[in-house]
């Protein structure tokens, strides 16, 4: 039985279930999906990354991570260099990703914003986990403060350990 091949335009390479079959089309669709989160980047898609502002570069970095549709997205200080409005947008994106089933590991200094975006919190001091709790815990901000500031601290001026 002969096998017939029909070359279709890239725009209609979809299976019966509607999923894109052509790898280039799939990549383009994922790029467009990622850019929906950050319209400022979509408008500048033909510019070099180095020509973008610091905040736009941060958004571009997050968008690049989204293109691969990771099961785990690790973000280190995604709010760095962003205006408060854009910080909220990035955290909104994190919330949408979580709803889609993407796990997010977020390292962030904006405590209230991070707690609002997270299910669980882990506090590290000198590489050791000193607190692990659900973000729904009522006294979590106070526990975090004690975890970070209520431990022994080396004071170099007197070369002694002082209990805070």
> What's 73's DSSP letter?
E
Tracing tokens 């995604």 back to the chain, one arrives at 78
Between CA 113 and CA 118 the distance in angstroms is: 9
46 belongs to a structural domain: yes
Which of 71, 50, 70, 73 minimizes the C-alpha distance to 60?
A: 50
Query: What pLDDT band is residue 151 in, cutting at 50, 70 and 90?
Result: low
Domains held by the chain: number:
1
Examine residue 131 and state whether it is found in any structural domain, yes or no.
Answer: no
Higher pLDDT, residue 23 or 41: 41
Average pLDDT on 124-145 reads 89
Is 52 a member of any domain?
yes
Q: What is the CATH number for 54?
A: 3.40.50.300
162 domain residue, yes or no: no
pTM score, whole prediction = 0.68
User: Mean pLDDT of all residues in the chain?
Assistant: 77
Domain of residue 20: give its range: 10-118
Q: Is residue 147 part of a domain?
A: no
Top pLDDT among 59 and 133 is at 133
Q: Please list the residues that pair with 128 across neighbouring strands.
A: 125
């Amino acid at each position: 039985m002969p096998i017939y091949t029909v070359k279709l335009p890239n725009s209609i390479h979809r299976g019966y279930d509607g999923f894109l079959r052509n790898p280039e089309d799939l990549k383009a669709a994922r790029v467009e999906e990622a850019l929906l989160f950050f319209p400022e980047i979509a408008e500048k898609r033909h510019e070099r990354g180095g020509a973008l502002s610091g905040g736009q570069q941060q958004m571009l970095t997050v968008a690049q991570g989204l293109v691969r549709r990771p099961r785990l997205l690790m973000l280190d200080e995604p709010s760095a260099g962003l205006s408060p409005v854009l910080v909220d947008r990035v955290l909104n994106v994190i919330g949408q990703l979580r709803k889609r089933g993407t796990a997010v590991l977020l390292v962030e200094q904006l405590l209230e914003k991070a707690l609002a975006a997270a299910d669980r919190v882990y506090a590290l001091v000198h590489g050791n986990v000193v607190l692990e709790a659900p973000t729904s815990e009522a006294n979590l901000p106070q526990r975090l403060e004690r975890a970070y500031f209520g431990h022994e601290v080396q004071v170099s001026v007197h070369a002694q350990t002082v209990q805070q």
